Chains A and B, each alone.
Chain A
């Protein structure tokens, strides 16, 4: 990168972060409540600032997509919400990240309580090497549910929600690793739903799946919207356009634009956004 380029980036960063303060206004406070709200929220890996003072408000019971080129910090944002970033040594956050009127990064926050309310589906399906039933019962058991009949009820409900019930109802005791990739991912979704979360974080949930399994997951996302707040990271813009209500575009750790999806894709306000969605880079 030449010197002038570097300068440009810095300048644009400053401008953008100023602009993005106004992003909150896109939500109508009467009808839409921000479920996760970030205020000047930054994440650092050691000395590098991976997220630069992001300000956005992700509405409750809607699907918010986070897009951007790889390495732009979209996963970092997502993992900040359930504090999975804590696992990375040298990673810390500044600013505020509000979830349901409480600060996720407050010193009184208990990550266990937090994560029980925020489910997550990962990039690669990661079922435990246990039976299908034990996979889904893992969360409920954590909450102290021990009775078999209760567990079975939760199991059936979550499986139905994840459109998995018909495929697994006869093989509860089979090893979950024996399922196909798409089924595994839906199992992971069901597993997350079984703890009755309020928010579902999805970190590129379809990137390891074939088209048919992908469309199944997308259908599920559409079905679950209205019940859960869903935040999905994707590198696939079509996917973001298909499933999300709102889209946030990140570039080099900076929130460039946050808008209703239809608006962002048809009429982007920022030049960078336009360049990205028209495929100029990324």
Chain B
């Protein structure tokens, strides 16, 4: 039985080897390199009923434990809604809904206190809307360029940039808004705005004059238009635009900004902060639109711009909507920037679209007033902040559901 030529393992390890029940049974088994007829210990693949039951119990409890840990997220969401609601409802019981949603008088510590949050809700809405106006076009263009236009090397460089923009803590943005940006806005805000108009207006004007010039040239001179004629019209249009921009600059640069901490300041910063979310989510959506669709469009003779605007973007629409919603959510929920740099004046600017006036937002109110309200736990002053939080929470909850639904729809559509 013992054949030195094939014996390659010591006895005890072989015993461990052959024993299937997890016990180290030392046996006098012959050692085999393989299952030769000489194998004396029969290895069974069966386990006893008890062991089997025990195994099932163990794996059930492991899975149960993992499930419990996973469901902590669900419990957390449930508790968050529950606990915010528990502390929010007393406010509505004490003060009712009308004042909160219709009055603009916010004097929580006055006597009698007044809890009109309309101006604050308006402030939140205003900076969010403005931030979206800034972030959405820029982010969508960036997403399109990242997924379709830029060469790989530039993409490699742009991705980390976006990640870093997303990673910078909000307090650092707030610090920048308050300490660096606000003074500049206050001392030379008009010129800054003028420069911004140029920065965005000039390239736009350039493009428009190229396109319109080209079309005009064809319209005026017919089919046999010469290069000189084209250039002449182009130069003419560019001249008109630059004169227009020049005259636009004067009134804008004359604007005096009385306080650097205003809605415009925070909106710009919030816009930057919302960029990465919109870019990365919508880029994913654009990437999910398969190559086949793009190639189909190219094969029909469409240019890249046409393919993107007419085929890719419509196909990725729901993903892009989800991206925009998530970006807006980031702006609504942001606290530090608005708390530090919005001016925190609970007022509706006059006129209401005046973005150069200080405003106040829901998040900043919660953060700012809680320090004082914490001492008066149980009062309306304390509960009103939870009411605001509940309001925010509900907005975020429903936006999230909508965006999830949108993503799901696009996923179903493209099967990714």
A and B bind: yes
Residues of A within 8 A of B44 (CB): 102, 113
Is A108's CB under 8 angstroms from B47's CB?
A: yes
Compute how far the CA of A202 lies from the CA of B9 in the bound complex, rounded to whole angstroms: 26
B16–A116 touching, CB < 8 Å = no
Q: Is A109 an interface residue (CB 8 A)?
A: yes
Asked whether, in the complex, the Cβ of A110 is within 8 Å of the Cβ of B55, the reply is yes
CA distance A154 to B242 in the complex (A): 82
Is B70 interfacial (CB-CB < 8 Å)?
Answer: no
CB within 8 Å: A-B pair count: 76
Contact of B9 among A100, A117, A154 (CB under 8 A): A154
Give the residue of B16, B45, B47 whose beta carbon is less than 8 angstroms from that of A144: B16
CB-defined contacts of B8 to chain A, threshold 8 Å = 153-154, 156-157
Q: Which residues of A contact B24 (CB under 8 A)?
A: 144
Cα separation A176 to B43 with both chains bound (whole Å): 31
With A102-B45, A109-B45 given, is the CB distance from A116 to B20 under 8 Å? yes
Q: Report the bound CA distance from A164 to B132 in whole Å.
A: 63
Asked if B415 CB lies within 8 Å of chain A CBs, one says no
Q: Is B103 an interface residue (CB 8 A)?
A: no
A135-B22 Cα distance, complex, nearest whole Å: 21
Residues of B within 8 A of A116 (CB): 20
What 0/1 readout, one digit per residue, does chain A (139-161) give for beta carbons within 8 Å of chain B?
A: 01001110100100110110001
Q: Collect the chain A residues with CB atoms within 8 Å of residue B371's CB.
A: none
A106 within 8 A of B: yes
Q: Which residues of A are found within 8 Å of B22, using beta-carbon distances?
A: 144
Chain A residues touching B, range = 20 to 34
- Smallest CB separation, B416 vs chain A (Å): 19
User: Interface size (B, Cβ < 8 Å)?
Assistant: 25
- Chain B 39-68: CB-based contact to A (< 8 A → 1; otherwise 0): 000011111110110010000000000000
Specify which chain B residues have a CB less than 8 angstroms from the CB of A195 in the assembled complex.
Answer: 17
| B17 near A113: Cβ-Cβ < 8 Å | no
Contact indicator B46/A106 (Cβ below 8 Å): yes
Closest residue of chain A to B52 (Cβ to Cβ) is A108
Chain A 84-121 near chain B by CB (<8 Å), digits 1 or 0 = 00000000000000011010101111100110110000
CB of B160 within 8 Å of the partner chain: no
* Pairwise interchain contact B46-A108, C-beta atoms closer than 8 A: yes
* Contacting pair A228 B20 (CB below 8 A): no
Docked complex: B16-38 residues within 8 A CB-CB of A: 16-18, 20, 22, 24, 32-36
Given A107-B52, A110-B46, A153-B10, CB of A143 within 8 Å of CB of B35:
no
Provide 8 A-B residue pairs closer than 8 Å at the C-beta atoms, listed in order of the A residue. Answer: A61-B35, A100-B45, A104-B45, A106-B46, A108-B52, A110-B45, A110-B55, A228-B34
Contact surface of B with A, Cβ cutoff 8 Å: 8-10, 13, 16-18, 20, 22, 24, 32-36, 43-49, 51-52, 55
Give me 8 other A-B pairs in contact (C-beta within 8 A), A113-B43, A140-B13, A144-B22 excluded: A109-B45, A110-B55, A144-B16, A150-B9, A154-B13, A198-B35, A227-B36, A228-B35
